[in-house]
């Protein structure tokens, strides 16, 4: 495989969201977690994405979390703000507020409730969205995660939006897990930051010019991902670890491992309709994880 020059976006931790005993977002714990990850070498943190249970958070909660992060000393330009809304007015309002607070990157998922919509209709949704924030200095990352949205962001759709909004479309996060799709994006859009959602594909993606990743694994093992940006071979534990996560509901599994490595069971709290791993699942997951490594690596 011939390596091509890489673009630099880096590793963004797809922040998992801590909740307190009353089910509210624990902004203090979130701020500490985000600060730790940035200190460990993450280039940014992503707020309110899939791993962060974004669709289960209100806009007010996400904006409050953003403000808490910056109050804790986190530079707002290092906060990627996820927009995962079906209603255009809500998506636009959330994006504009995040940009006003200093975020420069938006991770934007397609509208996902109504199924069977055409590619043209989804592109039209994005046109309305982008026109409504056109007065802001935004960098928009299109989010392809069809297993969740049932609305893929195909290379053709990316091309249409890039042609119409070249100053706003900055990248694509491909969480499809489909290497052929990722490779097509890398080959067709060398001017964009192509971000790898499946950590097992990060090393080959970087070889083809990938710009980095927005990663759930970075919540607890950014040290396994950051070296890949310099085209180092992946640690032998990386793929087995991701495969292990995929044996469980991923968000609950990520939270379980964050809690395991920080020795803080509060991280296991999750918001309905998602559910935490039961004790047997937790014990098996953490035991298998520990078996992959000689020692755990706490985040604090």
Residue 282 annotated as catalytic: no
Candidates 62, 104, 139, 173; catalytic one? 173
pLDDT in tens, 8-54: 899 999 999 999 999 999 999 999 999 999 999 999 999 999 999 99
- pLDDT, one tens digit per residue, over 209-242 is 999 999 999 999 999 999 999 988 999 999 999 9
pLDDT in tens, 102-127: 999 999 999 999 999 999 999 999 99
For residue range 167-220, what is the model confidence (pLDDT) as tens digits? 999 999 999 999 999 999 999 999 999 999 999 999 999 999 999 999 999 999
Give the chain's mean pLDDT. 95
pLDDT tens figures, 138-158? 999 999 999 999 899 999 999
Residue 222 structure tokens = 């950014």
Q: What kind and span of H or E run contains 89?
A: helix 88-100
The beta-strand segments (E) located in 51-192 are 79-83, 105-108, 139-144, 169-174
pLDDT given at position 232: 85
Count of CB atoms within 10 A of residue 217's CB? 25
Q: How many CB atoms lie within 10 A of CB 297?
A: 12
Q: Is 173 designated active site?
A: yes
Check 104, 139, 143, 289 and give the catalytic one: 143
Both tokens assigned to 30 = 């979130």
**Structure-token match 């992060």, residue found:** 69
Annotated binding site: 51, 214
CB 169 within 8 A of CB 158: yes
Which domains does the chain carry?
10-232 (3.20.20.70)
Cis peptide before 273 (omega within 30 of 0): yes
């Amino acid at each position: 495989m011939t390596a091509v020059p890489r673009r630099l976006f880096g590793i963004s931790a797809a922040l998992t969201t801590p909740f307190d005993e009353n089910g509210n977002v624990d902004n203090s714990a979130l701020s500490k977690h985000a600060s730790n990850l940035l200190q460990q070498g993450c280039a940014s943190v992503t707020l309110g994405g899939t791993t962060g249970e974004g669709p289960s958070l209100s806009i007010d909660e996400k904006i409050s979390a953003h403000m808490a992060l910056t109050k804790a000393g986190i530079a707002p330009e290092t906060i990627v703000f996820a927009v995962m809304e079906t209603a255009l007015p809500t998506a636009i309002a959330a994006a504009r507020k995040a940009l006003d607070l200093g975020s420069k990157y938006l991770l934007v998922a397609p509208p996902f409730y109504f199924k069977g919509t055409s590619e043209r209709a989804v592109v039209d949704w994005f046109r309305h969205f982008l026109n409504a924030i056109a007065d802001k200095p935004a960098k928009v990352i299109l989010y392809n995660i069809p297993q969740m949205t049932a609305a893929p962001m195909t290379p053709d759709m990316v091309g249409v939006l890039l042609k119409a909004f070249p100053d706003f479309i900055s990248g694509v996060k491909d969480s499809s897990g489909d290497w052929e799709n990722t490779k097509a994006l890398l080959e067709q859009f060398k001017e964009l930051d192509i971000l790898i959602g499946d950590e097992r594909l990060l090393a080959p993606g970087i070889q083809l010019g990938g710009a980095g990743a927005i990663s759930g694994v970075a919540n607890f093992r950014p040290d396994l991902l950051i070296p890949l940006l310099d085209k180092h071979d992946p640690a032998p534990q990386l793929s087995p670890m991701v495969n292990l996560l995929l044996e469980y509901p991923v968000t609950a599994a990520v939270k379980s491992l964050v809690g395991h490595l920080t020795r803080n069971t509060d991280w296991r709290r999750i918001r309905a309709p998602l559910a935490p791993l039961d004790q047997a699942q937790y014990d098996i997951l953490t035991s298998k994880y520990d078996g992959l490594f000689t020692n755990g690596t706490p985040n604090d």
